[in-house]
Amino acid sequence: MLQAGAKMGLTVCRTWAFNDASYNALQISPGKFDEKVFRALDHVIAEARRNGIRLILSLVNNLQAYGGKTQYVKWAWEEGVAISSSNDSFFYDPSIRRYFKNYVKTVLTRRNIYTGIEYRDDPTIFAWELINEPRCMTDPSGDTLQDWIEEMSTFVKSIDRKHLLTVGLEGFYGPKSPKRTTGNPEIWAADLGSDFVRNSILSTVDFASVHVYPDHWFHHKNFEEMLKFAAKWMLSHIEDGDRELKKPVLFTEFGLSNDNDDFEPAQRDRFLKMVLDVLYKSAKRKRSGAGSFFWQFLVENMERFNDEYGIVPWENPSTYRLITEQSCRLAKVQGLLSTQIEHVKNFCASRRN
Residues involved in catalysis = 133, 253
Of 81, 34, 87, 99, give the one whose Cα is nearest residue 62: 87
| Prior bond of 64 cis (ω within 30°) | no
- What is the Cβ-side half-sphere exposure of residue 97, based on CA atoms within 13 angstroms? 17
- The CA distance from 59 to 6, in Å, is 24
Secondary structure (3-state) at 186: coil
Quickly list DSSP for 154-182.
Answer: HHHHHH-SSSEEE--------TTSTTTTT
Of 194, 62, 92, 210, give the one whose Cα is nearest residue 140: 194
Of 266, 171, 187, give the one whose Cα is nearest residue 224: 266
Residue 58, strand partner residues: 16, 129
Q: How many helices (H) and strands (E) does the chain have?
A: 11, 9
Contacts 24+ apart (CB under 8 A), 104-111: 104/59, 104/152, 104/155, 104/156, 104/159, 105/159, 106/31, 106/33, 107/17, 107/57, 107/59, 108/156, 108/159, 108/160, 109/159, 110/38, 110/41, 110/42
Residue 291, strand partner residues: 250
- The CA distance from 97 to 72, in Å, is 9
